[in-house]
Amino acid sequence: MLPPQHVEAATHRAWPALINREAGPWTLRFAEGYSKRSNSAWIVQDLPPDRLPHALNALNDVECAYAEAGQPAIFKIPDFLPPELDMALDQKGYDRQDTTLVLLRPLDGSCAAPMPSRPRVSPSNIATKGMDCRFELREPDRWFPGWKECAGNPEHTETHAKLLRLAAPGTLFGSVTRRQTPASCGLGVPDSLFPLFGIFDVVTRANLRRQGHASRLMRELLRGAIRLNATHAYLQVVAHNTPARELYASMGFHEAYRYWYRVGPAPEIRQTDS
């Protein structure tokens, strides 16, 4: 069984931020306020008991860094960290938000049959019953417009696009289309240190849900992971998203660990004399 710390470190490498800073054992991530994942403080290495005071003493430094950026301080808390960290943030009035499950599955014979052998993963289209699944190797600008359509054209897309351009080498940008219309999109990121493959940004167009598009997308991403020599795939799903959890359970994913965010108040706007 892979240690959860290894998976957590892979998630940190897989999903970038625009700026990274250090404060004690914390890595502070900044990305213009887009997503908690890219605008929060993480501990991505083991935290032995003798390092716990160092992490607690650095909380004020983290708060000051985010206040200087005009953002609330947000801490990502995996459940394998010492509980004293979460207790300290709770006592400081931090709100607990977005409990998320990190799901893991082995990549073995239970996966769908892998794609035909090729010397490298390359763009391909596989037509099935009016659908085609397109995999693109590190071409986020071609993939992102379809993702935006499926997601209902959310805000902060410019920042999101910047983060996608920082994706790790070998990232697979996959889409399933129906009658030339994007139906489901997602991306898969191979890790540089461990044989892990992370699946992110899976979204299905609202009027095309529960029609098998997300399942097809997931199967193709897992096939791509096998071709990239990954032994395990992981993904993250918010705890209250029951339909997604059911889909992933049916595909062999199980809970490896969970995390949540501790969110502080918005920084006060300093008044200046005019």
What does the pLDDT look like over 37-60, one tens digit per residue?
Answer: 999 999 988 888 889 999 999 999
Kindly report, residue by residue over 141-161, the tens digit of the pLDDT.
Answer: 889 999 999 998 787 889 999
Confidence of residue 266 (pLDDT cuts 50, 70, 90): confident
pLDDT at residue 209, as a whole number:
86
Kindly report, residue by residue over 209-218, the tens digit of the pLDDT.
Answer: 888 888 889 9
Closest CA to 96 of 82, 77, 83, 81: 77
Question: Under DSSP, is residue 185 helix (H, G, I), strand (E, B) or coil?
Answer: strand
Q: Looking at the predicted structure, is the pLDDT value of residue 261 above 60?
A: yes
Q: For all residues of the chain together, what is the average pLDDT?
A: 87
pLDDT at residue 263, as a whole number:
97
Contact 85, 56 (CB under 8 A): yes
Q: What share of the chain is helix, strand, coil (3-state, %, to 5)?
A: 30, 30, 40
Q: Looking at the predicted structure, is the pLDDT value of residue 272 above 50?
A: no
How many whole angstroms separate alpha carbon 269 and alpha carbon 258? Answer: 34
Confidence of residue 120 (pLDDT cuts 50, 70, 90): very low
For the residues 210-230, what does the mean pLDDT come to? 91
How many whole angstroms separate alpha carbon 27 and alpha carbon 217? Answer: 32
How many whole angstroms separate alpha carbon 96 and alpha carbon 101? Answer: 15
Contact 92, 60 (CB under 8 A): no
Which residues is 126 bridged to in the sheet?
133
How many whole angstroms separate alpha carbon 19 and alpha carbon 170? Answer: 22
pLDDT at residue 111, as a whole number:
59
Kindly report, residue by residue over 154-195, the tens digit of the pLDDT.
Answer: 878 899 999 999 999 899 999 988 877 888 999 999 999 999
pLDDT at residue 208, as a whole number:
83
Residue 187 token pair: 């991306």
pLDDT at residue 119, as a whole number:
29
Percent of the chain with pLDDT over 90: 68
